A and B are shown apart, each in its own frame.
Chain A
């Protein structure tokens, strides 16, 4: 997938980016640029990176994600990475890759709730 196909969607005051399944270094760099530009343009409060389809994660990708999150924080937003596959998580851990202090969520739904700070419900037994 080329960087041309990257879409940064705005949902309310949150930016939504779906990372392509096998991102190369160029795509990852372009992704960072696009996200930061969109943050500035929309004055978004949050960024969600959906990596559900990503099958492999290398050190460059992991580092860029962590750095992007830091940059977004500096611009006044919060970042949540959503939907990492179990196999990707295991490989990443074994390779010693970390995402720094970035928040993670199981899926897009939970990520949105995290960003909204509004996932409140009650259960009765």
Chain B
């Protein structure tokens, strides 16, 4: 029991407020101190006060023997609270431990003054105090570390949406989480120790994809990829995968962290949207031959520059293919004509002219006509008609054709 220390405790009690003051001042001078503790020394004061009080209580009861006595446990628990509080303030366990150890610097000089006449007692007290403080700092450090690890482990284990996997430097699975199990179907005991290439198709593995990924992660520090991966039951899923190299302080490769997410749903949705967009675009610009020498193209929906380009290409292509000198472009299905759309139509018509064909613009509704005039768009050198039938008559005329009924009378004038 109580080797030395009773004298040390007496000194601590006697000079409590002075030691406290010195200690706080010392910590505030430390360049590592920052943030809340620096701006509000009250918090620091409270932390230190709590610690010293607990230390004194423990020492008075037990003569500061650091065994598993309740008083020693109390100091440790106060210390743990302090450490937790400081952790939340952004200090790591090492920094807090340094602050605890610095307590010695303010206690020991006083011991030296008090016991200067008794070197034997002094050295016993010094050893006891040093051992006590060091053991407290170490206990605090270990506990914080353990808690941090526990928190990290809980986090990793409970994440369900992401597969969080660690691989050794050769690519074998060394840790597995619930998300990885949910996504791939492998239980931890089935997968631990196996090479991560079992998530890839045989082709990918044969082509050296897995090795390439690890090499990239190893040289660049990181590898990211989207692609097909294989589940335990052989089915595929589209995954976004990030592989990060894990290196120790000496930058020696320790293994890899693999974070992966099943984004099959998103991929499917994206592909569907792309397919639909393509279909809509193709649907909306049909160009059909209505007579030998005449093609018709109903425009539906608004025209942006991309659609114009596509429409122009299709129209000109069809004109050349069918060798048609007349093209009917029907704008009944264009909801509103603005300057931009009109410009695009005029552009298309100029291109058709260069080919040696002409465009007849049909489906000019009253509102469209009003808009065109109000916008001051000049279409005077383009043949325009209100109906497709009217346009077709002009086209037939241009080709020197006419439609006759069976008894030989002309048709189409009354429509």
Contact = CB atoms under 8 A, between A and B. Distances in A.
Given A92-B354, A125-B403, A106 B316 contact: no
Contacts of A80: 356
Contact of B313 (A82, A90, A98): A90
A92 B351 contact: yes
A86 B400 contact: no
B410 to A, nearest CB: 11
Contacts of A38: none
B317 interface: yes
Interface residues of A, number: 29
Contacts of A120: 400
A34 to B, nearest CB: 23
A41 interface: no
B4 interface: no
A110 B325 contact: yes
A86 B402 contact: no
Interface string B347-360: 11011111111000
B399 to A, nearest CB: 8
A103 B320 CA distance: 17
B323 interface: yes
B323 A106 contact: yes
B401 A123 contact: yes
A85 B356 contact: no
A88 B348 CA distance: 13
B326 to A, nearest CB: 10
B354 A89 contact: yes
B126 interface: no
B400 A90 contact: no
Given A98-B350, A106-B356, A111-B356, A90 B403 contact: no
A52 to B, nearest CB: 10
B401 A106 contact: no
Interface in B308-357: 309, 312-313, 316-317, 319-320, 323-325, 347-348, 350-357
B404 interface: yes
B354 A106 contact: no
Nearest to A123: B401
A104 B351 CA distance: 11
Nearest to B403: A125
Given A106-B319, A107-B323, A99 B400 contact: no
Contacts of B317: 86
A125 B352 CA distance: 28
A124 B406 CA distance: 9
A111 to B, nearest CB: 7
Contacts of B348: 93
Interface in A69-103: 80-86, 88-90, 92-94, 98-99, 103
Q: Which of the listed residues A80, A86, A104, A106 has the most CB atoms from chain B within 10 Å of its own CB?
A: A86
Contact of B316 (A86, A103, A121, A123): A86
A104 B356 contact: yes
Contacts of A104: 353-357
A90 B316 contact: yes
Contact of A119 (B319, B320, B350, B400): B400
B352 to A, nearest CB: 7
Contacts of A86: 313, 316-317, 319-320, 355
A83 B354 CA distance: 9
Contacts of B354: 84, 88-89, 92-93, 99, 104
Interface in B383-415: 400-404, 411
Interface in B260-316: 292, 309, 312-313, 316
A81 B356 contact: yes
Interface string A11-28: 000000000000000000
11 contacts: A80-B356, A86-B319, A88-B354, A89-B316, A89-B351, A89-B352, A89-B354, A93-B350, A93-B351, A110-B325, A111-B356
In the A-B complex, the 9 residue pairs with the smallest Cβ-Cβ separation, listed nearest first, are A86-B316, A104-B356, A105-B356, A93-B351, A89-B354, A89-B351, A106-B356, A123-B401, A93-B350
Given A86-B317, A122-B400, 14 more contacts: A84-B354, A84-B356, A85-B320, A86-B313, A88-B354, A90-B313, A93-B348, A99-B354, A104-B353, A106-B319, A107-B356, A120-B400, A123-B292, A125-B403
